[in-house]
Amino acid sequence: MAGIIGKKIGMTSIFSVEGKSIPCTVLEAGPCVVTQVKTVENDGYDALQLAYDDKKEKRANAPEKGHFKKAKTTPKRKVLEFSNYMKEYVLGDVITVDIFDENGWVDVTGISKGKGFQGVVKRYNFKGVGDATHGQHNRLRAPGSLGASSYPSRVFKGMRMAGRMGGDTVKIQNLKILKIIPEQNLIVVKGSVPGSRGSYILIEK
């Protein structure tokens, strides 16, 4: 889908005309530079490679410097491909927040916050077993039985157990655009999006 690379600025709330408080997230969308135009003839498919967020020249290696030099831009931190752009773009073009419409809808993809090693109650919303009033002292947040003993004598794959939580790629679909501030390349969307403040996100139409 056509889209843009951006950053999560943070959450806030705005008031509707009726006076209701609406939770929303502020996103920085671009500006992104077109660093490569892929075509069916040369690459087997149509796509635009976009680059976002300046990087120090000394942090880029020689192939990166050469690649960005073709687009007449400075080295960038984040590079991603997008397809299905209605408008034709050429190398070096800048795509901004103007591709979105106020009161439109977007999908936002980001990497969720890492939570570390967590138990089944936090990780999978288990209720826990046992009853605190019957003398048990350490079984309230236990996962319970993992399977039968004599047969099959093993734990099946996919069993929901304690482990690392978060740090996954998550897409939130159909978020409504409440406001666009083109001077600062900002989009305000209704609700929350995955990731911590300052993390990279993908915004798709």
What integer pLDDT is reported at residue 1 of this predicted model?
67
Residues 176 and 134 placed together within one structural domain of the fold? no
Q: How much of the chain is in helix, strand and coil states, percent to nearest 5?
A: 15, 40, 45
Q: Given this model, what pLDDT does residue 139 score? A: 80
Peptide bond into 31 cis (omega under 30): yes
Say if residue 15 is in the same domain as residue 32.
yes
pTM: 0.82
The count of domains in the chain is: 2
Instruction: For residue 192, give both structure tokens.
Output: 């929350």
- Looking at the fold, whether 25 and 65 belong to one and the same domain comes out as yes
Whether residues 38 and 129 fall in one domain: no
Res 130: pLDDT: 67
Please tell me whether residues 7 and 93 are part of one structural domain. Answer: yes
Say yes or no: 192 and 135 in one domain. no
Same domain, 121 and 57: no
Q: Within the chain, which residues score under 70 in pLDDT?
A: 1, 130
- pLDDT tens per residue, range 115-172: 999 999 999 999 877 677 777 777 888 888 888 888 889 999 999 999 999 999 999 9
Domain range for 85 is 3-113+168-204
- Are 87 and 142 found together in one domain? no
Are 77 and 55 a contacting pair, CB within 8 Å?
Answer: yes
Q: Which residue has the tokens 């826990």?
A: 128
The pLDDT value given to residue 132: 72
Q: Under DSSP, is residue 34 helix (H, G, I), strand (E, B) or coil?
A: strand
The CATH number of residue 93's host domain is 2.40.30.10
